Structure 1
Amino acid sequence: MASVFTKVISGEFPGHFVWKDDKAVVFMTIQPIRDGHVLVVPREEVDHWDDLPPELLAHLTRVSQKVTKALKEAYPAKRVGMMIAGLEVPHTHIHLVPLDNMGDLSFDHARNAEPERLAAAATKIREVLLAQGHDEARVDG
């Protein structure tokens, strides 16, 4: 059975994308911990990150670095945290979260976000990615 992320990637469920390439996508989480919280997700449905082919894991890391640089500009913070938790959806995904302290990585702060707020955040991040020369940010929403 397809994961919720597979359904977002296929367009069956809505998503606010900031990056698309042949191996991975990046989209806004519907329950952000902080503004700018995105998910880096492989197109291939793999439950546990330690089961990813090494080259796909490396690709996800490279994409995460590029998106992090855009997040630092779009949502200035002391750091951008990178976390793989994977308990909520059985499809590997990397959380990228702008943060100023360790408490900013707590899922206790996650709240449902309005679609308009997610759309605005996605647009802001895509604009920075495009300005940084990443054509992968040319997505259809």
Structure 2
Amino acid sequence: MASIFSKIVNGEIPSHKIAENDEFLAFLDAFPIAAGHTLVIPKKEVDYIFDLEDDVYSRLFLFAKTLVPALQKTVPCIRIGISVVGLEVPHAHVHLLPLNSMDDADFSKKIKVSQEELASLAAEIRSNL
């Protein structure tokens, strides 16, 4: 069965896209822990990030890196953190997290954001790419 991320890639589930190419997709987390919380995924479904082929793994992180300046310009923060957890969705992905303190990296604390706010934020991040 396709993961929720594969359904996003296939357009079956809407998302607030930030950037994409033939191989990767970046979109705002629907249940963020911080404003600008972005997920970066390979379009090809692979469950465990360390099962990605080495070249795909490297390109995933390089693709994620290209998003950081736009995130920093859009969301006031000290830096963009990166996290790989891998338990919540069986599809390799990284979290880009705007951080001002270690508390901002607490995955047990979700913030409330409307679909309209996510759409506006995604548009602003895209405009800063």
**Alignment TM class, shorter chain as reference:** over 0.9
Name the aligned partner's letter for residue 94 of structure 1: V
Q: Which residue does 1:35 correspond to in 2? A: 35
- State the distance in 2 between where 1:109 and 1:33 align: 6
CA distance in 2, matches of 1:7, 1:20: 15
- Give the equivalent residue in structure 1 for 2:78: 78
Which one-letter code corresponds to 1:93 in the other structure? H
The range that moved more, 67-76 or 107-116, is: 107-116
Question: What is the CA distance between 1:63 and its match in structure 2?
Answer: 1.1
- List aligned pairs for 1:19-58, cutoff 5 A: 19-58=19-58
Task: State the Cα distance separating 1:106 from its structure 2 match.
Answer: 0.3
Structure 1 distance, partners of 2:122, 2:30, is: 12
Structure 2 alignment gaps of length 5 or more: none
Structure 1 partner of 2:113? 113
Looking at structure 1, the residues matched to 103 and 110 of structure 2 have their Cα atoms a distance apart, in angstroms, of: 12
Alpha-carbon distance between aligned partners in 2 of 1:96 and 1:105, rounded to the nearest angstrom: 10
How many positions carry a matched residue from both structures?
129
Match of 1:95 in 2: 95
How many angstroms does 1:76 deviate by?
A: 2.2
Q: Give the structure with the larger helix fraction.
A: 1
* 8 A contact 1:30–1:112 mirrored in 2: no
Distance 1:12 1:22 in 2: 18
Query: Which residue pairs with 2:65 in the alignment?
Result: 65
Q: 1:28–1:37: 8 Å Cα contact kept in structure 2?
A: yes
- What is the rounded CA distance, in whole Å, between the counterparts of 1:60 and 1:76 in structure 2? 24
Normalised by the length of structure 1, the TM-score is: 0.88
> Aligned Cα RMSD in Å?
0.9
Aligned-pair distance for 1:112? 4.8
> Percent identity, aligned pairs only?
39
Structure 2 partner of 1:122: 122
Following the alignment from structure 2 to structure 1, what is the Cα–Cα distance between the partners of residues 35 and 44? 27
Where has structure 1 moved over 6 Å in runs of 4 or more? none
